[in-house]
A and B are shown apart, each in its own frame.
Chain A
Amino acid sequence: MARPVDIDMGLGAGLGLKAEHFEDAVGTHADGLWFEVHPENYLVDGGPRLAWLDTVRERHPLSLHGVSLSLAGDAPPNTAHLQRLAALARRVQPALVSEHLAWSRLGPHHAPDLLPFPRTHAALQGIAGNIAQMQDTLQCRVAIENPSHYLQLAGHDWDEVDFLHELVRRTGCGLLVDVNNVFVSARNMGFDPRTWLDRIDGRAVMELHLAGHRADPLLGDGLLIDSHDAPVAEPVWALYDRLVARIGPRPVLIERDDALPPFADLMAERERAQAAFTPALPEAA
């Protein structure tokens, strides 16, 4: 059983750490600012990349956001990978660790994506075991993220929110709610994103993600893609505000991986998310 930890509320709104913005990241100080990285890029034996991460860590809290552990795979997490991840976590002492409710590995092969699966009873049992193994190895509570959905799959025994809640109940893990993924999935699968978010148990939510998306070049708005190459869309901000109004603020990340704007533009988006941490002044009677 993983050791439950309280969410570090010193974390406000953070940014994904990009090599292009290294100097800015090191030199910028702001209330609640933190940075998130994909640990896969830092699972190296040494060298400038790791030194760079150490430098950022000296100045800011870090979050390790895994993208390749394949928790929903048909096999347990790769032990060597998990050990490397644990070594990185010991080195940078992350404020948050997260992974996705998805799979990306089959046998010896890996696909750089977050693949979907039918949420069956058997899948639940396997994933719960994999999360427990991850938490035991890393000795911390892990936040599990809802991915974006693009396919109607048959054979679900569970809907997504119930599935996530059951994983929390069985493993003590937390949740990383990606609000943009909920919006994208809702559009693609045909459900109301507000209903999805309204059902999420706020006590389990350790982190939120906000990102930009775009319409499929061929299919338009009928198929939205979680592209991380645009500013956060207004409907996603509205969902963020609605969720935070209900459960209170959580460490929140502006995810931007492509078509990088100047650092100042990302900081401006981040300020908007950070505003949730500033209690509104009571209105004059």
Chain B
Amino acid sequence: MTPARLPDPGAAVPATFQQRFWHDLWAAPTADADTPWARQPGFAVYRNTVLKGCIDALVAQYPAVHRLIGDDALRALARDHTRAHPPTDGRQHVYGAHLPDHLAATRPADGSLDWLPDVARLDRLWTECHVAADAPVLDAATLLSRDPEALAHTHLVPHPAARWRWCAAWPAFDLWSAARDGRADPNPPRWCGQGALLTRPHGAVDAVEIGAGAVAFLDACAARLPFPAALASAQATDPALDLGATLALLLGHGAFSETVDEHPDPPSGTLAVA
């Protein structure tokens, strides 16, 4: 299999060949392609494989969006997104992080799909939660066993897999979870803002609706605010918040991995090693 030596500018220099091949791979197909490969029928195999691989990866990561707008519409959006933003990584789960922004930037002018980017963001948080690092889950009993005085200088560390988001404009969580579960009626029972918490308390991804106060509490914990300040932040966001119930909900869903004590004067020296 020694092909004839056709004129093929750049072929002897891998980098030049690859730049030209790459350009043709992503360019819109044209009848007057000027490279030897782009004129061959087999070139379409590469073009199709690349595009299909990217689109399939996006479709697989956005099941709720897929359910809500259908296969044809999502594939068309994914095709546009892929052409605008080719992957930068061989790991499929990394690709697709920007699709919600793409949906927001290209949403119909009539406002009919304004809620779609927020649903897509929850699909994205599901993927992030699914692949995040493992860590123990902080349970309520462990937290309650702490000296209340000490909690003044303690902050709760969000679990590495915990993801949360507040959506003020629409019931994004109900829209998303109904679509994700394939419920017959995807319409939310009420039209109001919703927060979502995604965690992995027992291995699998678990999703639950949370309020604005709970979201504020989680944000405060992520900012390493001490426990009392985080509670105050939650209460300032939602003065009617039931702090105990909120804390029980978050702990019950594995939102935290540990507590960290902030010592105003950390002890000097190093720990003895046994």
Contacts and interface: CB of A to CB of B under 8 A. Distances in A.
Interface of A: 40-41, 43-51, 67-70, 72-74, 81, 103-106, 108-113, 115-118, 120, 122-123, 126, 149-156, 159-160, 188-191, 196, 216, 218-219, 222-223, 225
B86 A109 contact: yes
Given A108-B88, A110-B87, A216-B41, A152 B131 contact: no
* Closest CB pairs A-B (n = 7): A68-B90, A155-B11, A150-B42, A112-B53, A46-B134, A154-B8, A44-B131
B6 interface: yes
B36 interface: yes
A110 B57 CA distance: 13
A104 B130 contact: no
A219 B203 CA distance: 47
A238 B132 CA distance: 45
Given A111-B25, A113-B49, A155-B5, A46 B14 contact: no
Contact of B89 (A47, A67, A110): A110
12 contacts: A45-B134, A103-B18, A110-B90, A111-B22, A112-B87, A112-B90, A117-B17, A151-B37, A154-B4, A189-B3, A190-B1, A216-B41
B31 interface: no
B204 interface: yes
Contact of B133 (A45, A67, A110): A45
B161 interface: yes
B131 A47 contact: yes
A44 B200 CA distance: 15
Given A74-B18, A159-B2, A112 B42 contact: no
Interface string B189-213: 0000000000010011100000000
A122 B17 CA distance: 12
B261 to A, nearest CB: 25
Nearest to B11: A155
Contacts of A70: 90
Given A46-B131, A48-B203, A117 B18 contact: yes
B253 to A, nearest CB: 16
Nearest to A195: B1
A79 to B, nearest CB: 13
B21 interface: yes
Interface in B10-32: 11-15, 17-19, 21-22, 25
Contact of B41 (A68, A106, A118, A223): A223
Interface string B93-112: 10000000000000000000
B57 A112 contact: yes
Contact of A223 (B45, B87, B135): B45
B93 A118 contact: no
A48 B204 contact: yes
B92 interface: yes
Contacts of A111: 22, 25, 50, 53, 86-87
Contacts of A122: 12-14
